[in-house]
Structure 1
Amino acid sequence: MIEFELTTEYIELIKLLKLLHLVESGGQAKLFVEDGFVKLNGETEFRKRAKIRTGDIIEFDGQQILVK
Structure 2
Amino acid sequence: MTQVENTIKLDQFLKWVGVAPTGGQAKLLIQDGEVLVNGVVETRRGRKLVTGDRVTVGKEDFIVKLDSY
Return the alpha-carbon distance in structure 1 between the equivalents of residues 33 and 47 of structure 2. 13
Matched residues, number? 61
Offset at 1:39? Answer: 0.1
Q: Which has the larger radius of gyration?
A: 2
Higher strand share: 1
TM-score calculated relative to the size of structure 1: 0.83
What is the identity percentage for the equivalent residue pairs of Structure 1 and Structure 2?
A: 38
| Stretches of structure 2 lacking an aligned partner (at least 5 in a row) | none
2:45 corresponds to 1:48: yes
Offset at 1:21? Answer: 1.2
Equivalent residue number for residue 5 of structure 1: none
Return the alpha-carbon distance in structure 1 between the equivalents of residues 27 and 64 of structure 2. 20
**Residues 33-44 of structure 1 correspond to what in structure 2 (within 5 A)?**
33-44=30-41
Return the alpha-carbon distance in structure 1 between the equivalents of residues 38 and 64 of structure 2. 11
TM-score calculated relative to the size of structure 2: 0.82
**Residues 1-68 of structure 1 correspond to what in structure 2 (within 5 A)?**
9-68=6-65
Equivalent residue number for residue 3 of structure 1: none
